[in-house]
Amino acid sequence: MIKNILLNITGSLVCFILFCIGMLYAEQEPLLILVGNVGLSGFSYFVSRIVTSIHK
């Protein structure tokens, strides 16, 4: 259980970093908007997994 929570936290951090990079540099490279959106949806997914695993 602890291993799953740590993996979910790591995944959420990676996705959050993708989101930040995508949004910060979206003006230079429009494709990074897609990277930011994927990062945001991945971040939401991992946070929901963390919340449901703690809630159990």
User: Can you tell me the distance from the alpha carbon of 23 to that of 18, in angstroms, rounded to the nearest whole number?
Assistant: 9
pLDDT in tens, the chain (56 residues): 778 888 989 999 999 999 999 999 988 988 899 999 999 999 999 999 988 988 87
Domain boundaries, the chain: 2-55
Q: Are the C-beta atoms of 34 and 22 separated by less than 8 Å?
A: yes
User: What is residue 36's predicted lDDT score, i.e. its pLDDT?
Assistant: 92
Give the residue from 53, 55, 16 showing the smallest Cα distance to 36: 16
SS3 32: helix
pTM of the entire structure? 0.83
Read off the tokens for 51: 């919340």
